[in-house]
Structure 1
């Protein structure tokens, strides 16, 4: 399914959560599972109130997470909202049946009246394969086969299909059909491996890239490879959007934002990945060319717009709640987004001309962004 994208279009800004459920890094206390799930639902409702474009919930089947049944949480948010787009972040296609995925998300699309999307992922934490009875040796093959089938179900009303990992489908009608023109937007989640970005280009699938650390210009290589693969496969690359996702945290000052964010993010990584977030990598977040969007409102505006210019993205999705960050802090971040960050970004991307900014000149970029966003204040 083609979704239009161009630098002349506004940049969509969203939020995603993986539903992590960890103790507070300073007190050691952990809220209940019930509270965490209901806070995620409230988070989605408040994201719409703040004017964000998208709210996403991912599934993660391991200790210290609560969003294993992410479609159930999305259904609650869909029922309680009316405008904001909703998606998975991501749905693990490798260990799920594409027929069931489509049935679930088509139903969610009917509940939300056409606001639902799928981000199709592979599972970065491989314990899920043992939990659901799959073999890690089939990691790549499972994903490619099931992703292809999911896209075929999305495009065709009657399915005839045969593969390696599930029973054949013969004249199968997969119901219900989605609210939005009988099709769902389906994105391919891409990690650090360029081969996945290239495969997405060959398939003509929009991509969703998660970026944790590193320089912006290093991450550009995957996006360039994707667009080259699109063109080589006969597609027009400008017709296919690119979405990026990463950590964001904003406070009144850059120093306060970094102090608060590191405490939670580092402890969250300790629980979920077995080791703390590297201090040296986190310290680089003060640089415009670093992918971590942590700082004051003006700093966040500059960094998001720099990534928009460098990558040519259509959507940026922020992870703010990782590591047990208190709900009050999340609401404060939404206040900054609503009052300062979203208006500036929308004004800039709405009036953007290709010759206004040279993104490789960091100092000139900052000066131009500050000039263009002053009118919003």
Structure 2
């Protein structure tokens, strides 16, 4: 089981002070959070991709490449790589380069994003979101797996005898998760290719997540990749912790009430009841997270969002200390004890390399 943190990189005023960090401060804070994640023993750091205010991570590979140079073990990923509005040729090149720079410590999560205006900014039509995701990813897979590609499609100019460079490290493309909140077509896409499916369930009730993950598992088996419980699943989560739950609720409430996504809507109590958001003690976070298995099955990656809604960096680093010292060690032990032996771990570059080395020859 991999545990990690993800950031969407929002630049949000701190509602308790009224101060808004500069873009520079926010970018530097995201790097500090990643370095802290490795320090406390977390496995994964993932960044979103946005091209609109109030978000700053418009170039995930630039940030992840800088973090790769300053870390040794941390797995680097994305909380969304915009497969719809980004050219698959550029994605293939950028993430293969990052693969080499990080010595294989990279995977990525494909997604369509949640900001409609980004489509025309990059010359795309939001009404073609799903077809774009399907066509662009099909091309991306070929670019990583074929040395010379001839291709034509609906949404970009044809390719003739094209070779994407650099080639993937060791001939092994980065592992891909397909992230979706609400689209069964994306669960189907992940299942078709035997890729991972990340249900970013942070804003949704568990019955919705259960249906999406169940669909993915069912279709994964349908396409011949193995039994449903061998499918590769990731989940999102949001937490805020203090030693005593009442202190956590009191401190976090103003940030929740003014959050850019869910602020000024349901109460904190309603939201924590209906979504994975957990505000309380470390033990409450442990209990709640272990409960995700009840409706998602045995899964491979759990990412937590800690730095949203204007929380100051000092507070986020305190949350990481609690996560690394008190929460993740217990979750590792408990999830490992519950996981059947036949359920696979999350793929890594090394495991995929080993799998390729032992696979029967097709020649």
| TM-score of the two chains, using structure 2 as the length reference | 0.88
Tell me the C-alpha RMSD between the 2 structures.
1.9
Change in 2 beyond 3 A, CA 1:185/1:279: same
In structure 2, the residue matched to 1:292 is 277
Q: 1:245-260 maps to which residues of 2 (within 5 A)? A: 245-260=236-251
**2:140 pairs with 150, 168, 185, which one?**
150
**2:257 pairs with 254, 263, 266, which one?**
266
The question of whether the paired residues in 2 share the 8 Å contact of 1:151 and 1:186 is answered with: no
Cα deviation, residue 31, structure 1: 1.5
SS at match of 1:94: coil
In structure 2, the residue matched to 1:241 is 232
In structure 2, the residue matched to 1:47 is 37
| Structure 1 spans left out of the alignment, 5+ residues | 1-10, 355-377
Q: Distance in 2 between matches of 1:165 and 1:278?
A: 38
In structure 2, the residue matched to 1:8 is none
Once the two structures are superposed, what CA deviation does each residue of 1:167-196 show, in whole Å capped at 9, x if it has no partner? Answer: 112222111123354311011111123332
**2:61 pairs with 57, 67, 71, which one?**
71
In structure 1, the residue matched to 2:85 is 95
Q: Distance in 2 between matches of 1:305 and 1:314?
A: 13
SS at match of 1:212: helix
Q: Distance in 2 between matches of 1:232 and 1:172?
A: 33
Cα deviation, residue 208, structure 1: 1.1
In structure 2, the residue matched to 1:27 is 17
Q: Distance in 2 between matches of 1:258 and 1:278?
A: 17
Once the two structures are superposed, what CA deviation does each residue of 1:31-85 show, in whole Å capped at 9, x if it has no partner? Answer: 2211111111111011000100100011112211111122211111111101010
| Structure 2 spans left out of the alignment, 5+ residues | 341-363
In structure 2, the residue matched to 1:220 is 210
Q: Distance in 2 between matches of 1:183 and 1:198?
A: 21
Cα deviation, residue 310, structure 1: 2.9
Q: Distance in 2 between matches of 1:108 and 1:194?
A: 30
- Work out whether 1:199 is the aligned partner of 2:184: no
SS at match of 2:224: coil
Cα deviation, residue 277, structure 1: 5.1
| TM-score of the two chains, using structure 1 as the length reference | 0.84
Q: Distance in 2 between matches of 1:353 and 1:88?
A: 26
In structure 2, the residue matched to 1:361 is none
In structure 2, the residue matched to 1:303 is 288
In structure 2, the residue matched to 1:276 is 263
Once the two structures are superposed, what CA deviation does each residue of 1:345-376 show, in whole Å capped at 9, x if it has no partner? Answer: 1111222266xxxxxxxxxxxxxxxxxxxxxx
The total of aligned residue pairs comes to: 338
Change in 2 beyond 3 A, CA 1:304/1:172: same
- Work out whether 1:351 is the aligned partner of 2:351: no
**1:172 pairs with 162, 167, 178, which one?**
162
